[in-house]
Amino acid sequence: MTRLLTGAPATDGFRMPAEYEPHAGCWMLWPERADNWREAARPAQLAFARVAAAIAQFEPVTVGVSTAHYSSARALLPGGVRVVEMAHDDAWMRDVGPTCVIDSAGVVRGVDWRFNAWGGLDGGLYFPWDQDDLVASKVLEIERLDRYRAPLVMEGGALHVDGQGTALVTEQCLLNPNRNPHLARADIEDALRVYLGVRTVIWLGLGLYNDETGGHIDDLACFVRPGEVCLTWTTNRRDPQYASSQDAWERLNDARDARGRRLRVARLPSPGPMHLSRREAAGIVPRPGTKARPPGERLAATYVNFYIANGGIVMPLLDPRTDRLAAQRLKLLFPGRRVVGVPGREILLGGGNIHCITQQIPRGLR
Amino acid sequence: MTRLLTGAPATDGFRMPAEYEPHAGCWMLWPERADNWREAARPAQLAFARVAAAIAQFEPVTVGVSTAHYSSARALLPGGVRVVEMAHDDAWMRDVGPTCVIDSAGVVRGVDWRFNAWGGLDGGLYFPWDQDDLVASKVLEIERLDRYRAPLVMEGGALHVDGQGTALVTEQCLLNPNRNPHLARADIEDALRVYLGVRTVIWLGLGLYNDETGGHIDDLACFVRPGEVCLTWTTNRRDPQYASSQDAWERLNDARDARGRRLRVARLPSPGPMHLSRREAAGIVPRPGTKARPPGERLAATYVNFYIANGGIVMPLLDPRTDRLAAQRLKLLFPGRRVVGVPGREILLGGGNIHCITQQIPRGLR
């Protein structure tokens, strides 16, 4: 039985657990849009299938697929991955799926944010997004988890938490007037406190350069454990990313988390810079109302967009010159987990990476 | 994780439990075909929603709905009923859903029969039926139950079991050459033994008069408990149903079940006879390739087509002259269960009733 709840997580005693806490499983969606994924999304489907298979080594994976693509997806995905029909407008489960919260008794519930395709008719990436906005409730219904419908536009990729009362977000995204123009910074902090059960919000400035979501935190930095953050980094002063990583570094070093701790900040090297090739761009079928992808465009490439699974890290492989170094850093940062790399370029071409296409369900005591 | 198994239930130690054994829940599908359900299926949807609500008093209910109808179904069904997207060709979950089996450790698995719309291109009711044939595997995948794919055409409504080694079927249906023309009677018995884990098959002759499935047992008779059967009955000698109920009565009285018991046979009065009205027929949009529904046609009306839920009986209300008597009989037959009546005429117009549109999942020890 899935109930639509009238209260709010924090007042009901719930908090969002960190991604490194135990999972019941992981949800994904299937890439299908020919106006976003080249060659009718087939290369992306192969890449998503490898991500699903990699995560399924660590925890149960479910993939939502449109009815039209059901049989081809079922054939491509490993037998151990659960495939269910689920309509969607694109494949970003992090952003359209539920943000789950848990209480001290181990009850898991979901927060169903309003979704407007990263900006609605004012800078959003496509129209319509009505099917995306139903995904969180459908996931919760299949999982039989109760649901809070949050009264604000938010995406899962726009927030990280440490599980101990601290949220990490960017001003570029959360204060963008194309999300919640009626809410001031303090109102948004209040909403995060109420819906994530956090006490402290750490604001960074800009997100990753040319990130089309408008600066999601999950392309810039994430918690590695309570008290420790890893940050996308570049040493190239001429890279447009340099200044915002520098700014984030300073803000993180000045910050205190909810328990009053200073943060350790680890730096992850950047791949590239990477750009959309002419051939890749030619494989995309443009459509009015969907964001264009011109050849030569800088891609929002970062190793920070990895997924933390039970006992594993599933990271994108993006650039042979830096992949190994990034993997080594992640192994040092997560000594208890096995680091698995999956080719990420095809996912990146669609506008995100492994963290963006996944959403964990915490392990409860149901 | 759902596996496709290579063995067969009986050899793996599994048996089909009777419907009166404990359920984990019940699955249904949503009626949508305008060429089978009048007025674009809206009256049927209201009727199905009442059935779902009635069963949900007793056990969890899940309803599979096409993507196009998702939001309207979600709005119509009670919040406690789980709604999931699931393509289908029509709404007969009994026949297209899995037939579940259980072992002595409480592990539940599903049998996924081949389905050909009750007769394929030789007397079947519509074409194509490819989405129907995927339903069982999709249900099992959502429930995370392993699956046997049976190599023969069968429908859940074509068989009943007592849970103690006995199956009840009709010759009219199981020996119809439009199902498994390559299999003789003995081959079909063998298949039932292997896939249902039964030792004894009791064969009745004809099913219910004008039952378009070709004589499903679930419109004629069912087990009430081990050693006891209830049978659709008429005392009207001019009713074409008279002879086949009489024949079934005699066969049941001659039979021995798997434990060597004689059967007690209870008789359930029949409603009607009931016929499709001109107005009802006019609401159906005919389509070549789908069975026509001419006005005046005799409807396959029977009270035997009820659903046994945990602690309840959900029965169709069909005829005010006989509904009360039938309900009283069912109360006497099932003293431990609460009998709930739901208006069944709109379901009957589509060709079946409450048992035909439901499929239980046994309660295991997973």
Judge whether B126 and B351 are in contact, CB under 8 Å.
no
**From the list A3, A60, A71, which residue is nearest B1 (CB)?**
A60
pLDDT digits (tens, 9 = 90+) for B118-160: 999 989 999 999 999 999 999 999 999 999 999 999 999 999 9
Find where tokens 């119509």 sit: B76
> What's the rounded mean pLDDT across residues B326-348?
98
In chain A, residues with a C-beta closer than 8 Å to the C-beta of B134 are 70-71
In sequence order, what DSSP letters do the residues of B105-147 get, joined into one string?
A: T--EEEEEEE--TTTTTTT-S-S--HHHHHHHHHHHHHTT-EE
Query: Cα A224 to chain center, whole Å?
Result: 15
ipTM above 0.95, yes or no: no
pLDDT digits (tens, 9 = 90+) for B181-235: 999 999 999 999 999 999 999 999 999 999 999 999 999 999 999 999 999 999 9
Greatest Cα-to-Cα distance within chain A, rounded to the nearest angstrom: 55
Q: What is the mean pLDDT of chain A?
A: 97
Q: Where residue B57 falls among pLDDT bands split at 50, 70, 90?
A: very high
Is the Cβ of B84 closer than 8 Å to some Cβ of chain A? yes
In chain B, residues with a C-beta closer than 8 Å to the C-beta of A66 are 67
**From the list A4, A71, A87, which residue is nearest B79 (CB)?**
A4
pLDDT digits (tens, 9 = 90+) for A8-21: 999 999 999 999 99
In chain B, residues with a C-beta closer than 8 Å to the C-beta of A3 are 79-80
- Going by their DSSP bridges, the two strands B221-225 and B228-233 should be labelled as antiparallel
Residue A117 DSSP label: T
Interface of A with B in 142-201 (CB under 8 A): 142, 144
Q: Which conformational region is residue B6 in: left (phi greater than 0), alpha (psi within -120 to 50 degrees), or beta?
A: alpha
Amino acid at B114: R
Query: Cα A297 to chain center, whole Å?
Result: 22
In chain B, residues with a C-beta closer than 8 Å to the C-beta of A70 are 87, 134
Which residue in B has a C-alpha nearest to residue A2's C-alpha? B80
Q: What are phi and psi of A330, to 5 degrees?
A: -65, -35
CB atoms within 10 A of CB A323: 19
Is the Cβ of B82 closer than 8 Å to some Cβ of chain A? yes
State how far the alpha carbon of A208 is from the alpha carbons of A283, A301, A338, B345, in Å: 25, 8, 26, 61
Q: Where residue B2 falls among pLDDT bands split at 50, 70, 90?
A: confident
Structure token digits, residue A159: 């927030």
Q: Which conformational region is residue B296 in: left (phi greater than 0), alpha (psi within -120 to 50 degrees), or beta?
A: left
Which residue in A has a C-alpha nearest to residue B82's C-alpha? A141
Interface of B with A in 45-64 (CB under 8 A): 60
**pTM score > 0.90 for this model?**
yes
Is the Cβ of A85 closer than 8 Å to some Cβ of chain B? yes
Contact A82 B144 (CB under 8 A): yes
Contact A138 B82 (CB under 8 A): no
Question: Across-strand partners of B108?
Answer: B102
Q: How far is A11 from chain B (nearest CA, A)?
A: 23
Examine the residue annotation and report whether B356 is marked as an active-site residue of this protein. Answer: yes
- Asked whether residue A1 carries a pLDDT value surpassing 90, the answer given is no
Can you give the pLDDT at residue B1?
A: 62
